Structure 1
Amino acid sequence: MRKAKTQAHVFSISKHHVQSISMAIVAFIVMTFLIVTMLTTAGNHSRFSSSALHDWTAQMQSEWFIHILGNENRYYLDGLEDSSTPNLGTAVLELATNMNVEDPRTFLGRELPGFSAFDDTIAVAGEGTDFTTMSMESAPPPEVQQEQGNTTAGNDGEDSEQRETTAAVDDEDPLIHISHAHNRESFYPEIDEDEPFHPETNIVKVGEYLADNFRDYGLPVEVSADDIQHMLNERDLPYHQSYEVAREVVVENMEENDELEFFFDLHRDSVSAEHTTATINEETYARTFFVVGEDHPDYEKNLAMAEEIHERLEDEWPGLSRGVIIRGGSGTNGIFNQDLSPNSMLIEFGGVDNTFEELYRSADAMAEVLQEYIYEEIEEE
């Protein structure tokens, strides 16, 4: 009788040890999987940094962090409609796979071609702005790129070395630099073409008009007239490297002009007029959109500036700004040369269906708001 009890006791202990070892093995596998996922999904520029931790934790439900704080201070839980603890399994899934069960885009983005274009984050939504009306880039068709590569783009036969240094510079040391990484983006109402890309009638005209406004406000400015598309074609580079080539131009100008502090890269959107046109005080304006690249450590400074300019525009011209979006990750540049200065912005002016008249009205409004902001920043220095 005693022998049977002893055997039962031994068997019970062995079963308990087996369960403990099994749980430890499972926990080890899960933790290893999570660590490997974190190390392999972070970019080289952000590994083992605060920005990497921010990106990883951003994948998890924010309620988890509120509940953690709520364990120490119950007031944090008062603002929650549902004070129940979030599902641990869901949190582990989101952290391990970068998939959010509440956001279908995270499931489809890796499977459907082009779906990653909707991965942008809306930092500030202007009127009518949602994930169906996001800013969209469109490259020229291959045949158009080849055709344009054989032109001199309005430089009257100058060689490529001369073209790469063309910039309208004021006599006084410029404070503002205006560039156009996609310099041939154009507008259907202003050209007789099948595609909205033109070597002369394009977004550069808006940049020149904006610069004239700055000069009227007493702010020295330079406008890059470099034909980035021609430079791409000469080097046989793809369109998505426009920002890398434009960066060379901006850096060169920064080295030549130490006083440069504010940098504006002007573009036009590819969406239709219903999303890019606003009627304000019985006049039509080309709506603006601010794009902030998040793939560099200090992007929040650029974001703060964009949000501030958006708010000021909305105070004076309600509906003019479509908002501020954050763009990064695979499939896009994700920096847009904004790492060169905290006072750098990418501004979309209108879309393919807007006219220069509408664009210039928007440039007038933008210049008024920006000059106030710039003078305030100068006074603080």
Structure 2
Amino acid sequence: MTGILVNIYRKMLSGFIILVCTICFFLVAGFISSSNISFFKFKVNGDIGADVFLRIISYENPLIGHALTGSNADLPILSTGFKLLTNVEMNDIRSLIRSEIPGFMAFDSNFLIADEGVDFTDIPIESAPPMEVLLQERNMAANELKELNSGKIYSGSSPTEKSVFIYHTHSWESYLPLLGLEGAENENEAVDGKTNITIVGELLGKELEKRGIGASVDKTNIGQELDKKGWMTHKSYEISRSLVQSAMAGNEKLDYFIDLHRDSVRKDSTTATINNEPYARLVFVIGEENKNFQKNLKFANELHKILNKDYPGISKGVLPKKGIGVDGIYNQDLHANTLVVEVGGVDNNMKELKNTIEALADAISQIYWKAEEVNG
């Protein structure tokens, strides 16, 4: 009798577990089907994990299957399985070594639009030192501060209507000469919580205002904000995203969003002499995984063409980025006229930066006033 009761109990327990698992499965499937597919941005062994996951779910929920289009719709079973098991892509020989050679993945992308002579060695490299290093604050080197304050100082009134929002996701990025470290071998020394890329943002804001364009410059210390939350530097785009969203909510007239960065490659790649004047070279970075990619690309391409027409060689080109190890969106899904702009590299000095910012302001103003004529 006891044995019969035990068997009944086991069957009831098994049935209960199956029922709970079934309910959980359909709850998850229902949540996914009612959510935006783009929410699932996680990756497994590369950039196909979400595709595989959604494809599996689609067998139970047809709504998911209808949402999968293009390359997501039909995954080649052999190559997909091989990549999941080995992280090697059958149609890309670079995947055999990209994980084995330090720094190789930094070059795992190509310029979509490039100036003459630009190659993979000119691709911007992102790097971030430990939090305690990027939080330090130092004054600008005396000779660089003198250069910053030299020349005619704009004293005109600022436009009351702000159309451009300038911000800095990696606000700690600085330049070796500005910190009195010109020629230092370690590029990771070019970081600071005070003397950094935000100075370049202020320069761009002033140059735009000279041209009658209102600009709002955000100088939030992103390093401090990350430290408060206990986050690592890879979460910096979450901080800057909130800044952009707040700016948009507070001013519907904002129509251009410029995220200024500094490259980590060295001087021979980031400096150009144009009409006997030194310039820090620019790179426009576009996240391929954002819904506004084509519009962002159009904006970046316009700037690239104008700049290299007026200042030949100042712009290296337009670099699209996606996949493992990169953000792939860069907050560019928030607006069509949103860009990440790499302004020079760790070795550029204030003279080179000032010249380049004037050139960039010229190019932005041409696009801005042309659009105003069309809209007006």
* TM-score normalised by the chain length of structure 2: 0.70
User: Out of 262, 266, 274, which is 1:280 matched to?
Assistant: 274
User: Out of 166, 176, 191, which is 1:178 matched to?
Assistant: 166
Deviation at 1:315, TM superposition (A): 1.1
What amino acid sits opposite 1:134 in the alignment?
I
Deviation at 1:109, TM superposition (A): 2.6
User: Out of 132, 139, 152, which is 2:121 matched to?
Assistant: 132
Answer yes or no: is 1:318 the counterpart of 2:315: no
Gap change, CA 1:52 and 1:128, over 3 Å in 2: farther
Conserved in 2, the CA contact under 8 Å of 1:254 and 1:260? Answer: yes
Alignment match, 2:207: 213
What amino acid sits opposite 2:347 in the alignment?
D
Alignment match, 1:39: 52
User: Out of 179, 191, 194, which is 1:191 matched to?
Assistant: 179
What amino acid sits opposite 2:93 in the alignment?
P
Gap change, CA 1:201 and 1:142, over 3 Å in 2: closer
Conserved in 2, the CA contact under 8 Å of 1:173 and 1:257? Answer: no
1:319-342 CA-partner distances (Å, limit 9, x unpaired)? 111111111112111111111100
Q: In structure 2, the residue corresponding to 1:230 is in which secondary structure? A: helix
Alignment match, 2:195: 201
Deviation at 1:97, TM superposition (A): 5.2
Alignment match, 2:149: none
Q: In structure 2, the residue corresponding to 1:132 is in which secondary structure? A: helix
User: Out of 70, 76, 94, which is 1:105 matched to?
Assistant: 94
Alignment match, 2:109: 120
Q: How does 1:1-381 map to 2 (within 5 A)?
A: 38-40=51-53, 53=70, 103-145=92-134, 147-148=135-136, 172-192=160-180, 195-381=189-375
Deviation at 1:258, TM superposition (A): 1.2
Give, in whole Å, the separation in 2 of the partners of 1:363 and 1:36.
Answer: 41
Q: In structure 1, the residue corresponding to 2:120 is in which secondary structure? A: coil
Give, in whole Å, the separation in 2 of the partners of 1:337 and 1:181.
Answer: 10
Conserved in 1, the CA contact under 8 Å of 2:279 and 2:356? Answer: yes
Deviation at 1:124, TM superposition (A): 1.0
Gap change, CA 1:311 and 1:234, over 3 Å in 2: same
Q: In structure 2, the residue corresponding to 1:237 is in which secondary structure? A: coil
Deviation at 1:215, TM superposition (A): 0.6
Q: Identity across aligned pairs (percent)?
A: 36
Conserved in 1, the CA contact under 8 Å of 2:159 and 2:213? Answer: no
Gap change, CA 1:232 and 1:153, over 3 Å in 2: farther
Conserved in 2, the CA contact under 8 Å of 1:51 and 1:297? Answer: no
Conserved in 2, the CA contact under 8 Å of 1:289 and 1:349? Answer: yes
Deviation at 1:191, TM superposition (A): 0.5
Gap change, CA 1:186 and 1:48, over 3 Å in 2: farther
What amino acid sits opposite 2:329 in the alignment?
I
Give, in whole Å, the separation in 2 of the partners of 1:56 and 1:358.
Answer: 49
Range with greater deviation from structure 2 (282-291 or 170-179): 170-179
Deviation at 1:104, TM superposition (A): 2.8
Q: In structure 2, the residue corresponding to 1:240 is in which secondary structure? A: helix
Give, in whole Å, the separation in 2 of the partners of 1:202 and 1:378.
Answer: 33
Give, in whole Å, the separation in 1 of the partners of 2:215 and 2:339.
Answer: 15
Deviation at 1:218, TM superposition (A): 0.7
Q: Which has the larger radius of gyration?
A: 1
Give, in whole Å, the separation in 1 of the partners of 2:240 and 2:139.
Answer: 16
What amino acid sits opposite 2:342 in the alignment?
E
1:259-278 CA-partner distances (Å, limit 9, x unpaired)? 10100000110000000000
1:149-202 CA-partner distances (Å, limit 9, x unpaired)? xx7999xxxxxxxxxxxxxx9561211100011112111111135710122221
Gap change, CA 1:113 and 1:173, over 3 Å in 2: same
Give, in whole Å, the separation in 2 of the partners of 1:324 and 1:294.
Answer: 12
What amino acid sits opposite 1:186 in the alignment?
S
Gap change, CA 1:255 and 1:212, over 3 Å in 2: same
* TM-score normalised by the chain length of structure 1: 0.69
Q: In structure 2, the residue corresponding to 1:175 is in which secondary structure? A: strand
Q: In structure 1, the residue corresponding to 2:220 is in which secondary structure? A: coil
Conserved in 1, the CA contact under 8 Å of 2:283 and 2:343? Answer: yes
Deviation at 1:108, TM superposition (A): 2.4
Q: In structure 2, the residue corresponding to 1:323 is in which secondary structure? A: strand
Gaps of 5+ in 2: 1-47, 58-63, 141-156
Gap change, CA 1:55 and 1:267, over 3 Å in 2: farther
Alignment match, 1:21: none
Q: How many residues align?
A: 295
Deviation at 1:119, TM superposition (A): 2.0
Give, in whole Å, the separation in 2 of the partners of 1:122 and 1:56.
Answer: 27
What amino acid sits opposite 2:121 in the alignment?
T
Alignment match, 1:159: none
